[in-house]
Structure formats: structure tokens, C-alpha cells
Structure 1
Amino acid sequence: MVEEMYLQKGSSFMDPFKGDLLAYFLPESCYTAFFLQYNFIDGACFKTLLSKVLGTAIILGSRMVKLPQIVKVIAAKSAEGLSFPSVLVELLAITGSIAYGVKNSFPFSAWGEALFVMVQTVTVGFLIQFYTKRTAKGVVFVLVYLGLLFLLLSPLTPSSVVTTMQASNMPAIIVSRIIQGVTNFRNGHTGQLSAMTVFILFAGSLARIFTSVQETGDTLLVVTYVVSVACNLVIVVQILYYWKRTQKILNKVPDIEKTTVHV
């Protein structure tokens, strides 16, 4: 009886603080466990909270994940070291993630960062074309991509197509990183490739493994992020390996020879 009165008092005290934001991070059962029963060691609830916090942090971070890359390219007025084919393949993977999350009604916290990363990746793709004197191609690239994205998210696109796209994410991610890795190897440096952007993408993919397991339980999604972590790690290693040489080349020769592969 005393415990029941205690919980009722606790409930009346905490209810004013229980709103949509709190409900987003915690289901009703976890709200009761944490704030009414003060059971902060509930394993399932802790994992739910951690997943939501990580997912939200990834989405917030994704708003500027490629901003360092964009700023670096604009400041240098050069897209040296960046591969446009790699951007195209990366967009295929990102777009598949967006469509898969929408079609399967997954929580926004499970896929939302892909939306922001997509916008920034399209921007990088346009800048590569712009700084290689192909502005018209850059504009066409942006318009065609937006048209395809609209079609993909519309009811006209069958779910089977979206699932196939998500399944293709793994080879797309692998091919994208291979193209960028080969470009780095041929150049002998990483050019205008932003270390901060690459490190954030690596950390985000690593965290996404946990949030995908927790929030979706979708094996295809989890395996995709495992592959993404492995591929991003390759570029991270290259950035560290070529660090000194990259700095010497960018500092010594402002307009280094264009050896990047373009289409």
C-alpha cells in the first residue's frame, strides 16, 4: 500500500515532465522503470535509451558530417583527390538506405542521417564537376538525381525494388571505397579528402551497427553497416598513412597535377 502511494506520488510529480520528447527516447514501461521505480539498471531499457541517444546524435552529427569536406574544397578551389565515380556509387548506397527506411516505416532515428548525408554528398558531387570546369554536367547531375529520388520514394516504386537497392548497398559501398582507395593510391596522397569527414563517417557506421540491431532487428541493415565500417576503415588507414605526404604536396604545390579519374 505504501509502495503504491509512493508510486502515485512519484507519478504525479513526474507527469508534467513526461512529454513527446521523453516518449521518443523511452517507451512507457521504461519510463515507469526509470522515473517511478528508480530501476536504472534495467538492461533492456538502458539499451533502448542508448540506441535512441546514439541514433539522435548520429542524425545531429550528420547535418555537418561532410561540411568539412565541402569547406575544404571551396577554400582550395580544387576537388583534387576526390573521385566523382566514388560519389555516384556512394549516393546509390545512401539513397537505398533512405528509401528502405521510409518503405519499411523504420524510426527516423534509425536512418535519418542518410537524408542529411545525401544532401551533402550531392553537393560534393556538384563541386567536383564545378572545379573541373564541368558546371553544366554538375547541374544535370543534381537535377537527374533529385528526379530519380522523387520517383523512388513515390508509391510508383515497388517495395521489391527498394529492397534490392538496399541489398546492393554492400557492393556499392565496397566499390565506392575501392574507387576512392585506388585514387588515393595512384595519387600517392589523399588530396582534398577531409580527414574529419572520413573519421566521422567511420564512427557513425560503427554506432549504427548497435542502433540497427536495437531498433530494427533487420539483418540486411546490420550487415550493410558492418561492411561500411570495414570499408571506411580502409580510407582511414590511407589518410593516416599518406598524412605527411599529403600535407607536403598541398602546402608546396598549390595547383597539383590532376590525376583523379573523372567521368
Structure 2
Amino acid sequence: MAAEADGLLKRALVPLLLPEKCYDQIFVHWDLLHVPCLKILLSKALGLGIVAGSLLVKLPQVFKILRAKSAEGLSLQSVMLELVALTGTMVYSITNNFPFSSWGEALFLMFQTITICFLVLHYRGQTVQGVTFLASYALVLLLLLSPLTPLALITLLQASNMPAVVVGRLLQAATNYRNGHTGQLSAITVFLLFAGSLARIFTSIQETGDPLMAGTFVVSSLCNGLIAGQLLFYWNAKAGHGKKEQ
């Protein structure tokens, strides 16, 4: 019975959360303080948690736009630059065969971000442009993931993530400052993105060892922190006239 339970536990953890040697180290030799293996376990669990959370992280933003029937306060350029950064991370990770737990949220955030792009265009009365944008993005993504795209171009796209993230977040910050409020920005989405980018610094170092990936998340954390700070500062500012809600 004990052997059967051990077998079930091993199948559940290896290789999803632990390599076999670490499973043996912790659960066979009972070396519960083996730091390298504990770091792997923490990184894998954290990474999978981020991926799972990313399925919902931008839905509050989508629902807030739909409920208000308005994308007021959202910078379209900022959203599109974020989409560029997510696409770069996803394509770069797939090309380099990084584990899904180290980048999977980029896939789900990409779908949610492109939905927000379309909604912004739709509520600006540019629905046709929105549909054209969706079709064009799909074609570009297929091309990037095809063997026709050289690795050097994929690496350049990933390297462009940092300026894309910085410029995108600064555009949103400038929009917030100019309006005196954060409009239809969702606080839940912004704070979850901030927390996720902080956690990704550790998991990207642990699972990929890629300084380009880690550097991107450091910059992303700083920029997401700026927007989170503005949300707190403008917490009671009412869209339209910047007065305080009672």
C-alpha cells in the first residue's frame, strides 16, 4: 500500500514539479532541507501558479470595459506595446524550448490583451479596424512561429520587450496623469500583473537562466509598480471630472 502511494505521489510530482533525482532526494532520502531541490520545487510551483492565475488576471479589465461600454482612460498604444512584449516572450520561449511553467502566462495574457485591444477600438467606433487588427496579428504570429523566421529576429524581438514595456507603461501613466484618474483600468488586473511580474524574476532565473528574460521581468515589475502606484493615488478620482467619489 505504501509503495502504491509512493508511486502515485511520484507520478504526480515528476517531472511536473521535480526532476526524479530531487524527488529521491526529498521523499526517499528525506533530505527536506536540500536547498537546490527546494528552489526547483518553489520555482515550478510558483510558475504553474502564475500560469493558472493568468487565465483570469485580465478578465476583470475586460468585464469592466464591457460593463461601462467604454474604454475611457486606456491608452491603445500602451495596450498594443504590451501585446508586442507578450508576443516576444512567448515566441522567444517556444523557440528556445523553455519549460511551459516559465512562460505559459504570456500565452493566456496575449489572448486577453488582444481582446482588450479590440474592445478599445470597438468602443471608439473603429470596429472594422479592430477586426482587421485581429486578422493581421494572427498572420504575424503564425509567421513568427514558423521555420521561416530566423532565430536572430526572434532574439531581437525579445530584446525589444524592455523598451516596449517601458514606453507602453509610460504612455499609460501619462494618460492617467493627464486625465487625473485611471478611467476603466481595473485595479485587480494591475495589482495581479505587478505581483506576477515580481514572481517571474525568480522563476525566470531559476528555470531558464536567461538574463534577457529575467531583465525583462525586472523592468516590467518597475513599470507595473508605477501604474499600481497611480491607481492608489487616484483611487477615489472619478472619471470625467477628477473629483472625489463620496
The normalised TM-score by structure 1 is 0.89
Counterparts of 1:246 and 1:117, CA distance in 2: 28
The match for 1:244 is 236
26, 42, 47: which one aligns with 1:34? 26
19, 27, 42: which one aligns with 1:50? 42
Counterparts of 1:139 and 1:247, CA distance in 2: 28
After superposing the two structures, state which structure 1 stretch, 106-115 or 21-30, moved more: 21-30
126, 130, 144: which one aligns with 1:138? 130
Percent identity between matched residues is 53
Q: Which runs of 5+ in 2 are unaligned?
A: none
170, 188, 209: which one aligns with 2:180? 188
Give the ranges of 4+ consecutive aligned residues of structure 1 lying more than 4 Å apart after TM superposition.
9-13, 247-253
Counterparts of 2:244 and 2:169, CA distance in 1: 27
Counterparts of 1:194 and 1:133, CA distance in 2: 22
Residue pairs, 1:88-107, within 5 angstroms: 88-107=80-99
The match for 1:261 is none
| Superposition deviation, residue 11 in structure 1 | 5.9
115, 139, 149: which one aligns with 1:123? 115
| Superposition deviation, residue 252 in structure 1 | 9.2
| Superposition deviation, residue 29 in structure 1 | 1.1
| Superposition deviation, residue 39 in structure 1 | 1.4
Contact 1:73–1:79 (8 Å) recurs in 2: yes
Contact 1:205–1:226 (8 Å) recurs in 2: yes
2:150 equivalent to 1:158: yes
Letter of the 1:146 partner, please give it.
Answer: A
Counterparts of 2:26 and 2:93, CA distance in 1: 30
The normalised TM-score by structure 2 is 0.95
Letter of the 1:148 partner, please give it.
Answer: V
Counterparts of 2:80 and 2:86, CA distance in 1: 10
Letter of the 1:107 partner, please give it.
Answer: P
The match for 1:23 is 15
Aligned Cα root-mean-square deviation (Å): 1.9
| Superposition deviation, residue 14 in structure 1 | 1.2
The match for 1:197 is 189
2:204 equivalent to 1:212: yes
The match for 2:74 is 82
